[in-house]
């Protein structure tokens, strides 16, 4: 959510930003919110003036009684009572107008960074850099679930009977590999100076609306029936929510946290749920990283965060690339985003395994995450990035470390978490 003062003073910049995101249907909202804001500020001004006048009259009433001017005092009391009704009406009007302003501001997209390429959708995202040499071996690489099934490592049929499509049982060495990757990711981020955290796996609606758009919430979140609770789709949400309605000390920034959690997603939309694969599913686990920092430091942290993911995957001998998300592919709260994609030797192309985002002060403004420093109070900047999200990472891992004889090589960095094994299968 952008600053209403910025919108008030720069409506054309806000409108151009909407055009850059190809959301022309929202253009009229800018003029609408300006008019509503004007009415809200007028109602507040009238209420303040009336409140001041009532205070003045109240003081005069005391003086009238002291001087024995009972009749005048009663007249003034009647005026105060009448103005009290007017004040209540103005306060109600102001609250209603401010709510309308907030509701509209929640759907006006954040101002994107000037470096973001302009494009309509993810087909116009721009490759930034490659890390590691993508290799296609001289033997056929099976579909990832086939590799797992050959290693007795997955049971989709039983999961379908128990929970439906979008779930799985991981078994044996594949299950151990999954846990090993998560444990290694935890230690990898701790070694990089991040504080490890296990957050709540459910969050309240005010946190949900503070960290994401309503459209994202509807497509992703599972609601707990009868309670004001949602299952998290990513631990970033409850990690940023940790700071809701707080005033942080500038000297204590930045907060750099890495978190583990299970994640739950509806995965509504055109892409749907894969019946035989584990690329897009309802339940998975993830190691995440978030940063809460000063505004002038968020661009530096953005580059640090995506680099962490690149470095992590390279220690597991997986080639990756970074992809700059274009304007039309950015969620409304984001000012800049880079996807990390892993190489798939089977498909001979890259696929997304993580996403790094800078949200500037959008989440902090919604959640009231403020910082107090020498220059006064201001809103913090928030960023997030995926360290690793099995089982999607398992697809890249198995394809890139598969041997011709069907065994899967364990890279050296992961062997301590696999009981010293060099191969599975």
Distance CA 342, CA 340 (A): 7
Give the percent of the chain with pLDDT over 90.
Answer: 81
pLDDT tens digits, 94-133: 999 999 999 999 999 999 999 999 999 999 999 999 999 9
Cross-strand partners of 202: 231
* Helix/strand/coil (H/E/C) assignment for every residue in 385-398: EEEECCCHHHHHHH
pLDDT tens digits, 321-369: 999 999 999 999 999 999 999 999 999 999 999 999 999 999 999 999 9
pLDDT tens digits, 141-152: 999 999 999 999
What domains, with CATH codes, occur in the chain?
Answer: 4-105 (1.10.287.40), 122-424 (3.30.930.10)
Beta-carbon contacts of 378 under 8 Å, excluding residues fewer than 6 positions away, are 295, 361, 370, 371
The per-residue pLDDT for 227 is 96
The per-residue pLDDT for 212 is 87
Question: What pTM value is reported for the model?
Answer: 0.89
pLDDT tier for residue 269 given thresholds of 50, 70 and 90: low
Q: CA quadruple 363, 366, 369, 371: dihedral positive or negative?
A: positive
pLDDT tens digits, 275-288: 678 888 899 999 99
pLDDT tier for residue 66 given thresholds of 50, 70 and 90: low
pLDDT tens digits, 360-370: 999 999 999 99
pLDDT tier for residue 379 given thresholds of 50, 70 and 90: very high
Distance CA 152, CA 154 (A): 6
Inter-CA distances, 283 with 155, 171, 174, Å: 15, 16, 17
The per-residue pLDDT for 271 is 56
Distance CA 274, CA 277 (A): 5
pLDDT tier for residue 267 given thresholds of 50, 70 and 90: confident
Radius of gyration of the chain from Cα atoms? Answer: 27
On the question of pLDDT at 395 being above 90, the answer is yes
93-112: buried (b, 16+ CB within 10 Å) or exposed (e) per residue? Answer: bbeebbebbeebbeebbbbb
pLDDT tier for residue 86 given thresholds of 50, 70 and 90: confident
Distance CA 227, CA 109 (A): 30
Backbone angles phi, psi at 120, to 5 degrees: -80, -40
Tokens of 50: 């009336």
The per-residue pLDDT for 236 is 94
On the question of pLDDT at 217 being above 70, the answer is yes
On the question of pLDDT at 272 being above 80, the answer is no
pLDDT tier for residue 375 given thresholds of 50, 70 and 90: confident
């Amino acid at each position: 959510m952008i600053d209403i003062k910025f919108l008030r003073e720069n409506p054309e910049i806000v409108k151009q930003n909407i055009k850059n995101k190809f959301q022309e249907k929202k253009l009229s909202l800018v003029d609408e919110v300006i008019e509503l804001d004007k009415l809200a500020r007028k109602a507040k001004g009238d209420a303040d003036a009336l409140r001041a006048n009532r205070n003045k009259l109240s003081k005069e009433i005391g003086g009238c009684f002291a001087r024995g001017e009972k009749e005048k005092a009663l007249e003034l009391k009647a005026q105060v009572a009448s103005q009290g009704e007017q004040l209540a009406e103005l306060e109600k009007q102001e609250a209603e107008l401010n709510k309308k302003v907030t509701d509209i501001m929640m759907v006006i997209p954040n101002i994107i960074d000037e470096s973001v390429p302009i494009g309509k959708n993810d087909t116009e995202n721009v490759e930034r850099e490659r890390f590691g040499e993508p290799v296609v071996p001289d033997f056929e690489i099976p579909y990832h679930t086939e590799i797992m099934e050959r290693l007795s490592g997955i049971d989709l049929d039983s999961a379908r009977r128990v929970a439906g499509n979008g779930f799985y049982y991981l078994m044996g060495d594949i299950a151990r590999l999954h846990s090993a990757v998560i444990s290694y990711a935890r230690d990898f981020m701790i070694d990089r100076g991040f504080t490890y955290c296990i957050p709540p796996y459910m969050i309240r609606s005010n946190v949900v609306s503070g960290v994401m758009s309503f459209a994202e919430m509807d497509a992703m979140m599972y609601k707990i029936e009868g309670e004001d609770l949602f299952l998290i789709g990513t631990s970033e949400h409850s990690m940023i929510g940790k700071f809701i309605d707080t005033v942080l000390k500038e000297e204590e920034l930045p907060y750099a946290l890495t978190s583990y959690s299970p994640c739950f997603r509806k995965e509504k939309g055109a892409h749907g749920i894969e019946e035989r694969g584990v690329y897009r599913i309802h339940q998975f686990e993830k190691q995440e990283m978030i940063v809460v920092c000063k505004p002038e430091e968020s661009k530096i942290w953005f580059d640090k965060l995506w680099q962490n993911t690149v470095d992590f995957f390279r220690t597991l001998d997986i080639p990756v690339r970074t992809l700059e998300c274009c304007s039309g592919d950015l969620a409304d709260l984001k000012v800049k985003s880079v996807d990390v994609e892993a190489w798939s030797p089977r498909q001979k192309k890259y696929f997304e395994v993580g996403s790094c985002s800078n949200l500037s002060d959008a989440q902090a403004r919604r959640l009231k995450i403020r910082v107090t420093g020498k220059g006064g109070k201001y809103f913090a900047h928030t960023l997030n990035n995926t360290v690793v999200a099995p089982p999607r990472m398992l697809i890249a891992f198995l394809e890139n470390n598969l041997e011709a004889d069907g065994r899967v090589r364990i890279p050296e960095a992961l062997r301590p978490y696999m009981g010293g094994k060099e191969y599975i299968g």
